[in-house]
Amino acid sequence: MREGRLSCGIDRRTFLGAAAIPFLGMPAVSAQQSGGGPQPAGQGGKLGVPGPYPGRVIEVQSARLKRSAKADRAAIRAALDRGLTQLTGAEHPVEAWRVFVEPGEAVGIKVVPNGHPGAHSSPELVLEVIDGLRSAGIRLKDMVVFDRYGLEFRTAGYDEILPDEVARGGLTPVEWDPGQLAIDFDVKDPIAGYDSDEFVQLTLVGRGQDPKDDRCYRSHLGRIVTKRLDKIICLPCIKDHHAAGATGALKNMSHGLVNNVFRSHSSPQSIAMVAFIPAVVSHPIIRKKCVLHIMDGTRGVWEGGPYGKNPDWLWDYSALLFATDPVAMDHIEWEILDAKRKEMKIPGVGGVGRLAVDPFGQEGYDIRQPQYIALAGQAGLGIFDHKSPYGRRFSIEHQIVNLS
């Protein structure tokens, strides 16, 4: 932590003037630093979270997006172009991309590899996003495709499909690092390691961690986020999660951009998704730089997530979703998952756990916590309600476009 600074890089004057979010010591974030709270959809708010289109979620459906057979890259391109123009109101996809990025900026593409082989951020979508960024004037050498875990990244095959000039990699070289507290791996490399100066602090210690070690209370942002990139395009997937219930746009940021994340669900009894996820996403740097979320719904995981290894728990949803508001996007994802689970005659993602219903005898936590999505909305990270008591402009605007 910097001298005279508080837990997430906020100066003391700002901290004292801001309203604290009362969850396990969650750091306060001022509206000036974070880009402000939710604004009416389409009213041109600042880029970031919740961005210029709070509440707006565009869902583009196409039967050609199915991934049980080989993905149709042309169909993904068509869905990508339509979704971006529908979200922004731009007449042309290049104009839509230029809402989010400018030539000369360093742009990251945050993928989700841990659903491989069944439901990860598809290579075809990654390549089309790269082409879209190029059309907006972003040079290949200014792009970085990344995830936290280097081994998962390589196992998913991203190294093999990316253009040579595009940087790639993970913040850690290993597949799994529960309770990992290391910060700087190689201070000369802006991709590897975590920033010692930028972190989120909560009174939350993982099982097996030493509460006398101050590092246990902090999750540091990756240096790729704080030092290397100007903007981040996030590519979450439609997947359930054994602790969070649903893992989408919010969790892609909260667990994909910082270290020491296992403390959020380190034992069956100590699940703290409702505190951890809104706290991390509230960090001003994350809020500012994560400007667009494109959810890969070509194939979803309705049970057994976040992994996609059991084909019986996968299904072709055949859609891409677009938003600058991760709360609204994740609420829609939650409903998509629950609709599929109802079809499969099992409870929704918020109704299962060791102490609730365990339909497959595999629940590892007392109760799942998708409620973090609603709490993120209450923390000003987006819009959760379909019908808000504060009027239509504070409600989700879910538009479905069918290209089939």
pLDDT score recorded for residue 45: 65
Nearest to 62 by CA among 72, 50, 53, 70: 72
What distance in Å separates the CA atoms of residue 34 and residue 49, rounded to the nearest whole number? 8
What distance in Å separates the CA atoms of residue 106 and residue 138, rounded to the nearest whole number? 8
The four Cα atoms 10, 13, 15, 19 give a dihedral, to 10 degrees, of -140
Nearest to 375 by CA among 266, 281, 239: 281
Of the listed ranges 10-24, 87-101, 359-373, the least confidently predicted one is 10-24
Asked if pLDDT for residue 23 goes beyond 50, the answer is no
pLDDT, mean of residues 25-31: 36
Residue 128: CB atoms within 10 Å = 21
- Enumerate residues 6+ apart whose C-beta is below 8 A from 322: 57, 58, 59, 60, 83, 84, 86, 87, 292, 293, 294, 295
Asked if pLDDT for residue 344 goes beyond 90, the answer is yes
C-beta separation of 331 from 373 below 8 A: yes
Three-state secondary structure of 86-130: HHHCCCCHHHHHHHHCCCCCCEEEECCCCCCCCCCCCHHHHHHHH
Q: What is the pLDDT of residues 253-308, one digit of tens each?
A: 999 999 999 999 999 999 999 999 999 999 999 999 999 999 999 999 999 999 88
- Enumerate residues 6+ apart whose C-beta is below 8 A from 364: 242, 243, 268, 354
Q: What is the pLDDT of residues 172-217, one digit of tens each?
A: 665 444 346 777 666 666 667 888 899 999 999 999 889 999 999 9
Q: What is the pLDDT of residues 43-79, one digit of tens each?
A: 446 999 999 999 999 999 999 987 656 678 999 999 9
C-beta separation of 65 from 318 below 8 A: yes
Asked if pLDDT for residue 95 goes beyond 60, the answer is yes
pLDDT score recorded for residue 24: 47
pLDDT score recorded for residue 136: 98
The sign of the dihedral angle between the CA atoms of 230, 292, 156, 254 is positive
C-beta separation of 118 from 65 below 8 A: no
Q: What is the pLDDT of residues 129-177, one digit of tens each?
A: 999 999 999 999 999 999 988 888 888 999 899 999 999 877 766 544 4
How many residues are listed for the chain in this entry?
404
pLDDT score recorded for residue 27: 43
Of the listed ranges 14-18, 79-83, 192-196, 337-341, the least confidently predicted one is 14-18
pLDDT score recorded for residue 190: 63
